[in-house]
Amino acid sequence: MDEPKGRASWRRGTRQRESVVDALGSARGFRTAQQLHGQLERSGRKVGLATVYRTLNELAEAGEVDVLRAASGEALFRRCATDDHHHHLVCKECGVSVEVGDRAVEAWVGRTARRHGFTDVTHALELIGLCRDCTG
Amino acid sequence: MDEPKGRASWRRGTRQRESVVDALGSARGFRTAQQLHGQLERSGRKVGLATVYRTLNELAEAGEVDVLRAASGEALFRRCATDDHHHHLVCKECGVSVEVGDRAVEAWVGRTARRHGFTDVTHALELIGLCRDCTG
DNA sequence: GTTAGTGCAAATGATTTGCAAACAG
DNA sequence: CTGTTTGCAAATCATTTGCACTAAC
């Protein structure tokens, strides 16, 4: 069976689910489950790590968040982009991130996909480096 | 000290390193370390799993193989076809992948990083979609 | 011989799961 | 109440590492 429409998967509204969604929502870019867990803990809203993972996975399955894989293999989550597709320039030192985006990149992706006969192509682009403050 | 030129990292030629390189070379697409390990075992050349990992990581560091992350988080390795920095257009259905690359994207990355005051920026770009054969 | 490289088994670290207690509706 | 959801701790899984041992040069 499955939901007739829309928001799908929420069965019960709980404090912890709301907290996780909240934490993700207030994050500028991608966050690991552990980061979110820490963030919640710091802000006083206790949520078990397992619950963070469970919630994140449900959200991902429901298509409400994007999941990406860091080079190290950890899962990175972010609340689903609105309409505007953009990417992130993340500082590997302090974690600050800037949204960047350019019509040109999107166009290149589309062109490349087409040239190779691929369809339904999505892309993930992450720029990782050192921000001004963390440089030397 | 370091190598005067070229192939870099190889210090000693060993049977097991050769086997791993070999196994990877004969693979059409991406392989996990575990798959390669199994493949070697089946073909009778015993190589410890740890050694497979160690070798693969050295190769990756030397830029002689590409590393990709499966959605599940496992590392996927493949012998690099070119030395140039490039990206992959991967079919989510059959896993076939095409190397793509474009000076323009690299340039855009550099420009964007600079504009935001970031340095030492690396980037990861993956295009995922359906190849011609898997379409419809 | 020396030293780098190997294999195993134990250590990691992220993520998952089992299960009894806590909670929403 | 009654079925969900939680939290903890134990269990997984891929990958890494410590260390005694073997092989390359």
Is the CB of residue B93 less than 8 Å away from at least one CB of chain A?
no
- Between chains, do A129 and B117 touch, taking CB under 8 Å as contact? no
List, for residues B19-76, the tens digit of each pLDDT value.
999 999 887 667 899 999 999 999 999 999 999 999 999 998 887 887 878 778 889 8
- Between chains, do A113 and B123 touch, taking CB under 8 Å as contact? no
Give pLDDT tens digits along chain A (136 positions). Answer: 433 333 444 666 799 999 999 999 887 668 899 999 999 999 999 999 999 999 999 998 887 887 878 778 889 888 865 445 667 777 666 667 777 877 888 888 889 999 999 887 777 777 777 788 877 6
List, for residues B73-89, the tens digit of each pLDDT value.
889 888 866 545 667 77
> CA-nearest residue of chain B to A98?
B116
- Between chains, do B108 and A102 touch, taking CB under 8 Å as contact? yes
DSSP of chain A, one letter per residue?
---SSTTTT--S--HHHHHHHHHHHH-SS-EEHHHHHHHHHHTT----HHHHHHHHHHHHHTTSEEEEE-TTS-EEEEEPP-SS--EEEEETTT--EEEE--HHHHHHHHHHHHHTT-EEEEEEEEEEEE-GGG--
Distance from CA of B113 to the nearest CA of A (A): 7
> CA-nearest residue of chain A to B75?
A73
For the full predicted model, state whether its pTM sits above 0.95. Answer: no
